[in-house]
């Protein structure tokens, strides 16, 4: 035998495992594509507001679909463990699917439905598939900040069985239909989520049969040990110490201060949110499970952006907080938890910028400029009612070597729905949707532009809308000498200024105008090259004289 034969064999086996790891990723990608293709809600089908992943029998996340948001993917890594704790192994059967929208056990608010499906190979439990999607309506007050407790915000589904041995829980569906405004759409999305996991399971079993594996144990150990080693190497190369940052956001009726201390140790990165403001009486509070998701995402963007996101990489980050707005306890209202949660990365990145000067991007718009529209015929007119959810984004912060991305959803990563798809769902017209000139903060690298959106009810209709906007009173800050981005604004076309949060009214004949904020600039504006300034003017990004 060749003296290196055993080493060569282990190298072949490692290559084989790597190929199967890539195959596993393709399995969850097909899982996610099933949800995209079959979902009823435009927020899922058009914007990709979903996640999908595969887990080992212990509930450890092994792989995630590329399509998906950090808020869904990273909360599911913890949520699957909650499902396993709630449903004993003896009560799990082939053909089962489990569901919840519990904000503290799932993804932070009632509008996200999480489904978990055990994957059996014969009688052996080989893993779990999980998926999450935002659905258009869960009853209650609707998607908005006006609730005073979670009990006002919609129907709550504890961890329970959506299906047992392939038989769907019809009692649950009857309860859903009686508690939501769009029953066909909501129930359709439930079936879509279940189908998503079923496809993942079928492809996994095909893969295991094809490669001759009885279960996921060997492959799972390979994935997690390699990931752990890679992340530890990255953390070891970081400066050690603690850094503190604060950031002011609009809040609802009073500004909200967010604070974080980032501590880099020998083999851990810790984030503590002590110093953040108390729980709000409005529905902008954030359960810790969602805060963890976006804090981990921010760290990973800096420390290990190219290392797979799974239970091993997430385990290197510890997130803690006393009870406050980023660790709200039941029954606090949490419908708009994303508004605070999407600000968490900029708070964490601001602390990391002190540890890694010159390497961290400026602040951006952060929270999505979502709008939930409840349209109806005006008095004396006939027409249709509809619930319309639309995603919009402000500008991203400028980067250390590049301008910020315009009208781009960071940190959530969701897409903006096409105008045609949004108009198709309800009696509204989007008259304007364009980049907002002069909204990006000046700097060596310019902040990304926000956008202007103009929305009106069609003739004979009116609508109420839930405003979920931030950075109207507290614009994104520049970094390293860069200027702040432009604040956002909400108004009617007659000049009436509206509030950035809460349910409000747009009468027939009026138009709603949203000006999403721009991202902060990076570096000294005097160092921006003349040719780049000329190009800014040529493209219409900047119309004012910056000299």
Q: How confident is the model at residue 545 (pLDDT cuts 50, 70, 90)?
A: low
pLDDT tier for residue 427 given thresholds of 50, 70 and 90:
very high
Confidence of residue 5 (pLDDT cuts 50, 70, 90): very low
Q: Which residue from 34, 33, 30, 196 is spatially nearest to 113, judged by alpha carbons?
A: 196
Across the strands, what pairs with 492? 512
Name residues whose C-beta falls within 8 Å of residue 152's C-beta, 6 or more positions apart in sequence.
140, 141, 333
Average pLDDT of the residues of the chain:
93
Lowest mean pLDDT among 14-23, 154-163, 200-209: 14-23
Residue ranges of domains in the chain: 5-227, 361-547
* Residue 179 pLDDT: 96
Q: Is residue 318 within 8 Å of 338, Cβ to Cβ?
A: no
Compute the Cα dihedral for 216, 222, 225, 231 and give only its sign. Answer: negative
Please, which residues bridge with residue 264 across strands? 241, 269
pLDDT on residue 6: 35
DSSP 279: P
Strands 371-377, 317-320: pairing is: unpaired
What pLDDT score was predicted for residue 36? 81
> What gap in Å lies between CA 470 and CA 482, rounded to an integer?
21
Percent of the chain with pLDDT over 90: 82
% of the chain surpassing 70 pLDDT: 97
pLDDT, tens digit, 9 for 90 and up, residues 307-318: 999 999 999 999
- The mean pLDDT of 380-389, rounded to a whole number, is 89
- Interstrand relation of 317-320 and 269-272 (parallel, antiparallel or unpaired): parallel
- ∠ CA 227-231-233, nearest 5°, is 120
Q: Where are the beta strands (DSSP E) in 285-403?
A: 317-320, 371-377, 386-390
Number of other CB atoms surrounding residue 93 within 10 Å: 15
Both tokens of 343, joined, read: 């600000």
pTM, to two decimals = 0.93
Find the mean pLDDT for residues 132-149: 91
How confident is residue 262, by pLDDT bands cut at 50, 70 and 90? Answer: very high
pLDDT of residue 250: 97
- Residue 433 · residue 389 · CB < 8 Å: no
- Give the pLDDT band of residue 197 (cuts 50, 70, 90): very high
Secondary structure in 3-state letters for 156-202: CCCCEEEEECCEECHHHHHHHHHHCCCHHHHHHHHHHHHHHHHHHHH
Average pLDDT over residues 107-130: 96
How many other C-beta atoms can be found within 10 angstroms of the C-beta atom of residue 383? 16
pLDDT score recorded for residue 3: 38
d(CA 68, CA 49): 6
Mean pLDDT of 99-126: 96
Please state the rounded mean pLDDT for residues 495-508: 96
pLDDT class for 47, splitting at 50, 70, 90?
Answer: low
Beta-carbon contacts of residue 267 (< 8 Å; ≥ 6 apart): 232, 235, 236, 316
Q: How many Å apart are CA 414 and CA 52, to the nearest integer? A: 14
Q: How far apart are CA 392 and CA 465, in angstroms?
A: 14
Contact 327, 273 (CB under 8 A): yes
What are 216-255's pLDDT values in tens digits? 999 999 999 999 999 999 999 999 999 999 999 999 989 9
* E strand spans, 265-417: 269-272, 317-320, 371-377, 386-390
């Amino acid at each position: 035998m060749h003296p290196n034969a055993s080493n060569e064999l282990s190298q072949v086996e490692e290559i084989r495992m790597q190929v199967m790891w890539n195959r596993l990723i393709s399995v969850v990608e097909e899982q996610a594509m099933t949800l995209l293709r079959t979902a009823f809600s435009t927020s899922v089908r058009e914007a990709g507001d979903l996640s999908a992943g595969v887990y080992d029998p212990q509930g450890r996340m092994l792989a995630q679909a590329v399509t998906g948001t950090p808020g869904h993917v990273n909360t599911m890594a913890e949520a699957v463990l909650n499902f396993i704790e709630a449903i004993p192994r003896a009560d799990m059967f082939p053909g089962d699917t489990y569901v919840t929208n519990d904000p503290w056990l799932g993804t932070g608010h009632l509008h996200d439905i999480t489904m978990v499906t055990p994957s059996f190979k014969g009688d052996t439990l080989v893993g779990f598939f999980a998926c999450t999607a935002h659905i258009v309506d869960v009853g209650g007050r609707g998607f908005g900040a006006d609730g005073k407790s979670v009990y006002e915000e919609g129907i709550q589904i504890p961890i329970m069985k959506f299906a047992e041995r392939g038989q769907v829980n019809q009692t649950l569906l009857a309860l859903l239909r009686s508690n939501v405004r769009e029953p066909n759409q909501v129930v359709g999305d439930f079936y879509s989520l279940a189908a998503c996991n079923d496809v993942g399971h079928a492809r996994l079993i095909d893969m295991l049969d094809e490669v001759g594996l009885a279960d996921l144990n060997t492959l799972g150990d390979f994935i997690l040990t390699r990931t752990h080693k890679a992340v530890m190497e990255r953390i070891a190369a970081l400066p050690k110490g603690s850094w503190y940052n604060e950031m002011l956001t609009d809040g609802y009726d009073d500004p909200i201060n967010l604070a974080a201390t980032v501590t880099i140790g020998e083999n851990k990165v810790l984030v503590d949110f002590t110093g953040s403001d108390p729980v709000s009486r409005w529905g902008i509070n954030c359960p810790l499970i969602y805060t963890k998701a976006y804090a981990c995402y921010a760290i990973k963007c800096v420390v290990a952006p190219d290392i797979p996101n799974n239970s091993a990489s997430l385990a290197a980050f510890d997130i803690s907080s006393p009870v406050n707005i980023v660790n709200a306890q039941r029954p606090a209202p949490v419908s708009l938890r994303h508004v605070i949660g999407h600000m968490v990365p900029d708070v964490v990145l601001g602390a990391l910028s002190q540890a890694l000067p010159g390497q961290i991007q400026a602040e951006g718009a952060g929270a999505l400029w979502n709008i939930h529209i409840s349209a109806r015929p005006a008095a004396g007119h006939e027409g249709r009612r509809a619930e319309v959810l639309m995603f919009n984004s402000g500008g991203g912060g400028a980067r250390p070597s590049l301008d910020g991305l315009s009208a781009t959803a960071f940190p959530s990563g969701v897409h903006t729905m096409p105008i045609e798809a949004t108009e198709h769902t309800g009696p509204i017209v989007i008259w304007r949707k364009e980049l907002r000139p002069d909204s990006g903060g000046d700097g060596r690298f310019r902040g990304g532009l926000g956008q202007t959106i103009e929305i009106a009810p069609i003739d004979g209709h009116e609508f109420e809308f839930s405003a979920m906007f931030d950075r109207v009173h507290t614009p994104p800050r520049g970094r390293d000498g860069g200027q702040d981005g432009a604040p956002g604004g909400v108004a009617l076309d007659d000049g009436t200024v509206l509030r950035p949060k809460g349910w409000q009214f747009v009468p027939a004949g009026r138009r709603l105008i949203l000006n999403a904020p721009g991202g902060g600039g990076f570096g000294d504006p005097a160092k921006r090259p003349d040719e780049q300034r000329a190009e800014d003017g040529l493209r219409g990004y900047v119309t004012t004289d910056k000299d």
